[in-house]
Structure 1
Amino acid sequence: MKALLCESHGPAEMLVIRDLPEPQPGPGEIAIAVRAAALNFFDTLIIENRYQTKPALPFSPSAECAGTVAAIGEGVAGWQIGDRVAAWLGYGAARELVVVPAESAVRVPVGLELAQAAGLFVTYGTAMHGLIQRAGLKGGETLAILGAAGGAGLAAVEIGALLGAHVIACASSADKLALAREHGAQEELDYTAHDIRAGLRRLTEGRGVDVLYDTVGGDLAEPAVRSMAWEGRYLVVGFAGGAIPKIPLNLLLLKGCDLRGVFWGDFVRREPAAQRRNMERLLDWAAGGHIRAHVHAEIPLERWTEAYALIADRKAKGKVVLTL
């Protein structure tokens, strides 16, 4: 089978495609013929050994995939060859065949494209965990999202709107903000053209933001914390801006607000039942057309450098998916 491999740490240009033996499912496992493998921002970090997950070399990137059931291990019930399926692996999905525990696989509903299903786990799973388990977001609260046009940001826009929040999309260009509005944002703020603190105060009529979903970090973080409402919840999701910010702790005291980490990968491991409920709810929304799981680009595996560049250069408006 064909696999995209990281054989030594470095930029995406150092990845290679190799032919590997086909894996066989063991007891309780299924093999998936991968048709779509989604990429996330952390895929640009993991291949350079700059992410908290550090797989042994060589490994395949991509944490999530969708395809069809190709083989079924002993003791597995409920699956048949050819069933459409999606799964979260953590890493290793950018190859033609993967083996996963059957209990971790999710059936893809009729009518949902495999490229969309492949991108549901990380971005939408993170947004669900962040907004529900970590923030306890309530209908009528104000939700601001930094990096609202990326895959993680658009997922938070859609889910926040479905949960009844007043959603403020914050992004770096007019076209990105227009995309966020198409996905359910009610207000918008271009943080390259306007001061983010002043803008959020204006859009909340001076009250501040109840929940802030930050996928960017960097220089935006401190002024965003200064924009929080009393008892607001600031969600630390990622650092697409590059730098990890240092927040003055006196701001938390003065605002009476919280900083809350959103580590979806560990949530999956620690609370599998809650994760399963989140994914089932997401799939119901996807099947009903309530979330779009927007795919910015579907790029053949052989052109992986183009896919990585879209993410690294922050040009992606939604998910970037490798196709096989």
Structure 2
Amino acid sequence: MRAFHIESAGAEPALCTLPDPEPGPGELRLRIGACGLNFADLLMMSGDYQDTPEAPFTLGMEVAGTVDALGPGVDGPATGTRVAVFAGQGGLAEMGCFPAERAVPLPDAMSDIDAAAFQIAYGTSHVALAHTARLQPGETLLVLGAAGGVGLTAVEIGKVMGARVIACARGATKLAVAERAGADHLIDAETQDIRAECKRLGGVDVVYDPVGGDQFEAAFRATNPEGRLLTIGFASGKMPQIKPNHLLVKNLSVMGLYWGGFLKFRPSVVTDSLATLMRWYEEGRIKPHVSHVLPLERVSEALDLLRARKSTGKVVVTPR
């Protein structure tokens, strides 16, 4: 099989040919139909991600495809079942072996491409907004990086949950994508003052921030008393410095959110969230936005789209 593989620590990933894998105890083998890319894949390539596997390993955190073999002690999902799996690695390949307990059966109406773009982005935003921040109907939600992989899902989910959504992104093209996802108000991070615009709109109750840096600082200063700020990531490359005494003045809460971490210490949060999200998908309330679908031989190009911020929503790679 072909796989986008890192052979040793510090080595550059390369598309290579590996033996077809055999599932071990507790595993299933998947004939991969699609793999969704994430900013974390770039961090894994440089060794900067908090859950970077030890080399050798194949990149690709979330996959969808068809089960074609089960390992010892595994009684399902049955071969021929279409599933999505968040495994943290192994998705940028033609085949892969993954923990059977993480396989989520797919609705017939959900394509492999939609499924590969679904779990991390929607899961992160739903757990962040519903479980961690406890967003309420009528509250104002500010989404930074609102046209990105997770940001766009936060706009959608915020609207489904009954919030007023302010979307912040760079440039008219990206803002148009956020508006189509349901944003009520738009802020161009290239030309407008985020703090001033949010204050003009009455301030914000919840901030969803996968960007960090100066945008976090501006959002922090526009947050209403008892506001909640969700730190999702640092796509800007800059981690903001928070002065604790400023939290006291307005009784603010800053909360970190790493979706994959729940699988280790409280997996029911993830499984309950995914059940809700799958139902919303079947009801037509949410729909993944995939701006690019590229074949495995163009995976470097696909990753460059993330690196250069040239994509909106998700980038998905297919084996062919």
Pairwise TM-score range, normalised by the shorter structure: over 0.9
Whole-Å separation in 2 of the counterparts to 1:74 and 1:290: 39
RMSD of equivalent CA atoms: 1.4
CA distance in 1, matches of 2:156, 2:229: 18
**What does residue 49 of structure 2 align with?**
51
Question: Which secondary structure state, in structure 1, belongs to the residue aligned with residue 58 of structure 2?
Answer: coil
Match of 1:180, SS?
A: helix
Instruction: Measure how far apart 1:99 and its partner are.
Output: 1.5
1:93 aligns with 2:88: no
- Corresponding residue number in structure 2 for 1:69: 67
Could you list the runs of 5+ residues in structure 2 that have no partner in the other structure? none
- Measured after TM superposition, the shift of residue 265 of structure 1 is 1.3
Asked if 1:238 is matched to 2:236, the reply is: no
Residue number in structure 1 paired with 2:243: 248
Deviates more, 1:186-195 or 1:146-155: 186-195
Deviation readout 1:70-97 (Å, 9 max, x if unpaired): 1123443342222111000012211111
Tell me how far 1:4 sits from its aligned partner: 0.6
- Change beyond 3 A, Cα 1:6–1:224: same
SS in 1 for 2:42: helix
Q: Paired residue for 2:139?
A: 141
Letter paired with 2:247: L
Shift of 1:8: 4.8
Secondary structure of the equivalent of 1:224? helix
Supply the distance in 1 between the matched residues of 2:27 and 2:308 (Cα, whole angstroms): 37
Report the CA distance between 1:10 and its aligned residue: 6.1
Cα distance per residue 1:39-79 (max 9 Å; x no partner): 11111111101111121112111110001111123443342
Following TM superposition, where does structure 1 have runs of at least 4 consecutive aligned residues deviating by more than 4 angstroms?
8-11
Superposed displacement of residue 101, structure 1: 2.2
Q: State the alpha-carbon separation in 2 of the partners of residues 96 and 24 from structure 1.
A: 13
Q: Does the CA contact (< 8 Å) of 2:76 and 2:100 recur in 1?
A: no
Q: Distance in 1 between matches of 2:62 and 2:48?
A: 19
Identify which of 261, 273, 297 aligns with 1:278: 273
- Which blocks of at least 5 consecutive residues in structure 1 are unaligned? none
The structural deviation recorded for 1:218 is: 1.3
1:4 is aligned to: 4
Task: Tell me, in whole angstroms, the C-alpha distance in 2 between the residues paired with 1:184 and 1:9.
Answer: 43
**Contact 2:195–2:221 (Cα < 8 Å) also in 1:** yes
What is the SS of the residue equivalent to 2:316?
Answer: strand
Q: Distance in 1 between matches of 2:242 and 2:284?
A: 39
1:259–1:15 Cα change, 3 Å: same
Deviation at 1:121? 1.5
Aligned partners of 1:226 and 1:251 also within 8 Å: no
Q: Secondary structure at the match of 2:57?
A: coil
TM-score in terms of structure 2 length: 0.96
What's the CA shift for 1:9?
Answer: 5.7
- Name the structure 1 match of 2:163: 165
Does the alignment pair 1:287 with 2:285?
Answer: no
Between the aligned partners of 1:100 and 1:261, the Cα distance in structure 2 is 27
- For 1:264 and 1:69, how far apart are their aligned partners in 2? 25
CA-CA distance at 1:24 after TM superposition: 1.8
Report the alpha carbon displacement of residue 149 of structure 1 after superposing the two structures with TM: 0.1
What residue in structure 2 maps to residue 83 of structure 1? 81
| DSSP-derived class of the 1:47 partner | helix
Bigger mean CA offset, 23-32 vs 298-307: 23-32
* Aligned residues of 1:211 and 1:232 also touching (Cα < 8 A): yes
2:258 maps to: 263
1:221 is matched with which residue: 216, 219, 236?
A: 216
What secondary structure, in the 3-state scheme, does the structure 1 residue paired with 2:150 have? helix
SS in 1 for 2:269: helix
2:190 corresponds to: 192
Distance 2:25 2:55 in 1: 26
Residue equivalent to 1:19: 17
Identity, % of aligned pairs? 45
Q: How many residues align?
A: 319
Taking structure 1 as the reference length, the TM-score comes to 0.95
> What CA distance in whole angstroms lies between the structure 2 residues aligned with 1:10 and 1:23?
24
